[in-house]
A and B are shown apart, each in its own frame.
Chain A
Amino acid sequence: MKYTILVNEGPYQHQAADSALQFTRAALEKGHEIFRVFFYHDGVNNGTRLTVPPADDRLIQKAWTELAEKHGLDLVICIAAAQRRGIMDADEAKRQGLDANNIAPGFRISGLGQLVEGGIQSDRLVVFGD
């Protein structure tokens, strides 16, 4: 079965980012296809590479990147939500005249249309959030 996952909550906030990760892993292990993971609202904070959690804590952002590399996942960050929260890729940072970018490997920034397309193209849309 084909899935799109929507993540509306940031990492280390409550538990939704962890739940989404675990669900995505379990779906892949069962042989399902993850068409897209879309990060919206505070969920865009899952896509920064500049986090340094304590050594004994889980590394949520890195876990997404590793999962994307292993399974070729399409991790998409909502551009309007990202700009509000300072999540930038190189092109956006340049366009906005900023001195740095912070997007994590495996993520890309795009628009809400990607969420709509995910809902249409997938058999199931599963939402995780606050």
Chain B
Amino acid sequence: MAMLHIVNKSPFERVAFDSCLAHASAGDAILMIEDAVVGAVAGSSFSGKVKAAMADKSVYVLGPDLAARGLEGKAMEGVTIVDYAGFVDLTANNDTTQSWL
């Protein structure tokens, strides 16, 4: 039973992203949207945690939300960039979704 975790707040603003990483199971997928896309940027004080999650989870970021914040091309290696169609596919391909509001 794989779960898609959707995070929409910056890890520098709220603890939701940290909570998500603490609760997600191996084989789950994590998608960063809205302000959470800053969590995908390479070289931040948070990027180590995202990198660690990649060991047993797949990590995605919503491309349009990265671009809207001028962060295109700044995502760390190993994070897959998806569009809204890819977002829909992630919800369909995982058994359940959890939004970390």
Spell out A's residues near B (CB within 8 Å).
1, 3, 8, 14-16, 19, 22-23, 25-27, 29-30, 32, 124-130
Contact at B8–A124, with CB atoms within 8 Å? no
Q: Does B60 contact A (CB under 8 A)?
A: no
- Chain B residues within 8 Å of A125, by CB: 97
List CB contacts (< 8 Å) of B64-101 with chain A: 64-65, 83-85, 87-89, 91-92, 96-97, 99, 101
- Asked if residues B101 and A130 are in contact (CB atoms below 8 Å), the reply is yes
27 contacts between A and B (CB under 8 A): A3-B91, A8-B101, A14-B34, A14-B35, A15-B8, A15-B34, A15-B35, A15-B65, A16-B34, A19-B8, A19-B34, A22-B84, A23-B84, A25-B84, A26-B88, A29-B85, A30-B85, A124-B92, A124-B96, A124-B97, A126-B99, A127-B6, A127-B97, A127-B99, A128-B8, A129-B99, A130-B101
Per DSSP, chain B at the interface is: helix
